[in-house]
Amino acid sequence: MTAPLRLGLAGLGTVGIGVVKIVQRHAGLITARTGRPVTITAVSARDRTKNRDADLSAYAWEDDPVALARRDDVDVLIEVMGGHDGPARAATEAAIAAGKDVVTANKALLAHHGQELAEAAEAAGAVIRFEAAVAGGIPVIKALTEGLAGNEIRRVMGVMNGTCNYILTRMQAAGLPYATVFEEARQLGYLEADPNLDVGGIDAGHKLSLLAAIAFGTRVSFDKVELEGIGNVSIEDINLADEMGYHIKLLGVAQMSGRGLEQRMTPCLVPAESPLGQLQGGTNMVVLEGDSVGQIVLRGPGAGEGPTASAVMADVIDLARGLRISTFGQPAATLAQPVAARSATPAPYYIRATLLDKPGALAKIATCLGEAGISIDQMRQLNKPGEKDDLAVVLIVTHKAAPADIAHALDQFGATGVMLGAPVAIRIEAV
Ligand SMILES: NC(=O)C1=CN([C@@H]2O[C@H](COP(=O)(O)OP(=O)(O)OC[C@H]3O[C@@H](n4cnc5c(N)ncnc54)[C@H](OP(=O)(O)O)[C@@H]3O)[C@@H](O)[C@H]2O)C=CC1
Ligand SMILES: N[C@@H](CCO)C(=O)O
């Protein structure tokens, strides 16, 4: 029997305790699959006295995760503390400096420091694995780096933040406004400590930037992701979209166009009957498109103790089996510096505008669209009981239009003198 693979576990929260449970429950199964035992030798967290719903008595304790990473009886650091700097970064760097492999669930760390950490790991002969960092229990990193390695990737797309998907689907199902459902999500413990990481689209943007790096062989460029969160999605737009056969999702899309790397994480309308449109609650879905394979759809739990620990353990088991793949699927030095391109791919748009209800108002709006080269597919005025009769809510669905043309037309709306408030424009994504 080969020597055990010895883990040092930094973080004993939701994910860390999930890892402890799998290591303890499946010791025999893991040994059978890898040919060597996988053991935890030492753990670290902030509060040693906390009751953690797992038996940790066999493990050494370190107050300092950096000391944990440097221990002679630790072969692999499991970093499940979180945060893009601080102890997570320090412990990861310490492990790499000591030539040790790192398994992390920390998308923020890699979105901000992925390139330098990958270079340092390769220089030290170490490997960084991060299956759990993107879409929780869904093996999407493995799918891209291994299963689809023979493809040129055309597009990566998906719903990658379970909290946002919960909020949007709950708003729709219960007819509740954003603020009410946001508060429910907080009560249920779904939100990150900084809720803006979720609802601001940042967490999902981190994940998209990691997938884009693997898919397109480029350095992680989170700072170039076009980000828009879900805070401005209204129940009115959710209901109107639904009437037209669409659902609103916080959708990430990354693709390499002739102009450069497009990465966006924004609310979009998707067909209600499509796999993405049907996605309920905290579930994630990632759609991968390769030149040879066509379209692959991966769906599953994007968070939680079991699913996330499952992904961490998949990486651990790969290391125990001796599988060593570069962090982003190819040597870090060969990752290209991407040229970031604003999304220019034309798409239909949903536009809702509130106008003064007077002769010619609608014509002025239609003229702005026409002058921007945008063709109208559907248009209707909503006559809702109880609305003031001096205003008109107008709903427009355009034919495919370039994002820049839509932005220009919306700017022109303001100069017509008939607008009441800002218009809403949401891209309709073909999926
Ligand atoms: N929860 C989930 O479903 C998912 C989480 N992730 C990622 O996994 C990582 C962990 O998440 P999660 O388990 O939810 O986080 P938790 O907040 O539940 O746990 C964090 C753990 O890290 C420990 N910790 C924090 N700071 C320090 C420090 N300075 N020194 C030592 N230990 C520290 C905490 O200690 P103490 O317990 O003593 O406070 C706690 O045990 C994050 O990067 C997260 O983004 C990824 C996918 C899904
Ligand atoms: N806050 C994240 C956790 C999993 O990364 C989500 O809601 O998807």
pLDDT tens track for 119-141: 999 999 999 999 999 999 999 99
Ligand nearest to the CA of 185: 2
Mutate which of 198, 250, 305, 312 for ligand 2 pocket (most atoms within 8 A of beta carbon): 198
Domain 349-428, CATH 3.30.70.260 — does that match?
yes
What pLDDT is recorded for position 2?
Answer: 87
Rounded mean pLDDT, 276-283: 96
Q: Which atom of ligand 2 is nearest to the CA of 165?
A: 7
> Does the Cβ of 318 fall within 6 Å of ligand 2?
no
Give the rounded distance of the alpha carbon of 429 from its chain centre. 17
Rg (the chain; Cα; Å): 24
Rounded mean pLDDT, 354-383: 92
What pLDDT is recorded for position 382?
Answer: 83
Question: pLDDT per residue over 34-66, tens digit each?
Answer: 999 999 999 999 999 999 989 999 999 999 999
Angle at 97 between CA 95 and CA 100, to 5 degrees: 45
What pLDDT is recorded for position 388?
Answer: 62
Question: pLDDT per residue over 323-364, tens digit each?
Answer: 999 999 999 999 999 999 988 889 999 999 999 988 899 999
Angle at 136 between CA 287 and CA 185, to 5 degrees: 100
Which of 424, 430, 431 has its CA nearest to residue 235? 424
Q: Which atom of ligand 2 is nearest to the CA of 161?
A: 8
- Detail the residues annotated as belonging to a binding site for NADPH: 107
Question: pLDDT per residue over 105-121, tens digit each?
Answer: 999 999 999 999 999 99
Report which of residues 390 and 11 the model is more confident about: 11
Q: Which residues are tagged catalytic?
A: 207
Average pLDDT of the chain, as a whole number:
96
pLDDT band at 180 (very low <50, low <70, confident <90, very high): very high
> Does the Cβ of 106 fall within 6 Å of ligand 2?
no
pLDDT band at 387 (very low <50, low <70, confident <90, very high): low
Angle at 421 between CA 418 and CA 422, to 5 degrees: 100
pLDDT band at 386 (very low <50, low <70, confident <90, very high): low
Q: Which atom of ligand 2 is nearest to the CA of 105?
A: 5
**d(CA 177, ligand 2 centre) in Å:** 21
What pLDDT is recorded for position 246?
Answer: 96
pLDDT at 217 over 90: yes
What pLDDT is recorded for position 381?
Answer: 87
**d(CA 82, ligand 1 centre) in Å:** 5
> Does the Cβ of 132 fall within 6 Å of ligand 1?
yes
Enter the tokens of residue 143: 């799918």
Nearest CA to ligand 2 atom 4: 303
Rounded mean pLDDT, 159-177: 97
Superfamily holding 5-133: NAD(P)-binding Rossmann-like Domain (3.40.50.720)
What pLDDT is recorded for position 389?
Answer: 67
Q: Which atom of ligand 2 is nearest to the CA of 308?
A: 4
Determine the Cα–Cα distance for residues 401 and 227; give it in Å rounded to an integer: 20
pLDDT band at 1 (very low <50, low <70, confident <90, very high): low
> Does the Cβ of 307 fall within 6 Å of ligand 1?
no
Nearest CA to ligand 2 atom 2: 161
Query: 299: which strand partners?
Result: 285
Superfamily holding 143-301: Dihydrodipicolinate Reductase; domain 2 (3.30.360.10)
> Does the Cβ of 11 fall within 6 Å of ligand 1?
yes
- Detail the residues annotated as belonging to a binding site for L-homoserine: 192
Mutate which of 186, 192, 285, 305 for ligand 2 pocket (most atoms within 8 A of beta carbon): 192
Nearest CA to ligand 2 atom 3: 303
Rounded mean pLDDT, 259-282: 96
Question: pLDDT per residue over 400-428, tens digit each?
Answer: 999 999 999 999 999 999 999 999 999 99
> Does the Cβ of 48 fall within 6 Å of ligand 1?
no
**d(CA 10, ligand 1 centre) in Å:** 9
Structural domain boundaries of the chain? 5-133, 143-301, 349-428
